[in-house]
Amino acid sequence: MHQPILLCLHYCIGTSTISPDLAPCDFFLFPKVKSALKGTRFESVEVVKAKATEVLNQLTEADFQHCFQQWKSHMERLMEWSEDKALQLINAYRQQNLLWDPRHKNHFEKNMKEDAWREISAEIGMSAEHCRKKMLSLLSGYRRERGQGEIQQRNCRTEK
């Protein structure tokens, strides 16, 4: 892994794509409304508002309980990752070339990759699935930050 990528991953630890400030409605209410409205053409904004209100009014107490359970689970997972543990994950991932280097001879071997995640899991002390999801989150945070930096550089060049 190139040094700039590793440095940016270190920077992105604090800006995970799984944001701690997400409200419970981000986990359940918005996706519920979105899926009900998806693929439908509406005549006006008022019709969209009416349909969204109708969907929200149909939600039950059990729906809201499920929403808060998802939010609670999200917050618990988020708190499991200290900065030190995230850095440990990045370094363990970095050592497993077959996970991130498509030129590695075993990069496309599913079983070998699962073994590598199990090794990382044992080193970190968390499940392989948690490690994989956190690494994906860190990588997407890195890509987002890198993309914003490239956009800012282009804007600076065009202003000159």
Q: Mind giving me the DSSP string for the chain?
A: --HHHHHHHHHHGGG-SS-TT--HHHHTHHHHHHHHHTT---SSHHHHHHHHHHHHHT--HHHHHHHHHHHHHHHHHHHT--HHHHHHHHHHHHH-HHHH-TTSTTTT-HHHHHHHHHHHHHHHTS-HHHHHHHHHHHHHHHHHHHHHHHHHHHHHHHH-
Which residue has 């440095």 as its token pair?
7
Mean pLDDT of 46-70: 84
pLDDT tens per residue, range 68-79: 887 777 776 666
| Count of the separate structural domains present in the chain | 2
pLDDT tens per residue, range 14-28: 444 444 455 656 667
More confident residue, 84 or 32: 84
Are residue 61 and residue 92 in the same domain, yes or no? no
Are residue 91 and residue 65 in the same domain, yes or no? no
132 with 124: CB under 8 angstroms?
no
pLDDT tens per residue, range 80-131: 778 888 899 999 999 999 999 999 999 999 999 999 999 999 999 888 988 9
pTM assigned to the model: 0.51
In a domain, 14, yes or no: no
Are residue 110 and residue 147 in the same domain, yes or no? yes
Domain extent for 50? 22-79
In a domain, 156, yes or no: yes
Are residue 74 and residue 53 in the same domain, yes or no? yes
User: How far apart are alpha carbons 102 and 46 in whole angstroms?
Assistant: 50
In a domain, 53, yes or no: yes
Are residue 51 and residue 109 in the same domain, yes or no? no
Task: Count other C-beta atoms under 10 Å from residue 9's C-beta.
Answer: 23
In a domain, 144, yes or no: yes
Are residue 64 and residue 87 in the same domain, yes or no? no
Are residue 75 and residue 89 in the same domain, yes or no? no
pLDDT value for 109: 94
pLDDT value for 51: 87
State CA 19 to chain mean position distance.
8
Are residue 86 and residue 159 in the same domain, yes or no? yes
Are residue 72 and residue 102 in the same domain, yes or no? no
User: How far apart are alpha carbons 12 and 140 in whole angstroms?
Assistant: 9
Are residue 89 and residue 138 in the same domain, yes or no? yes
Are residue 103 and residue 62 in the same domain, yes or no? no
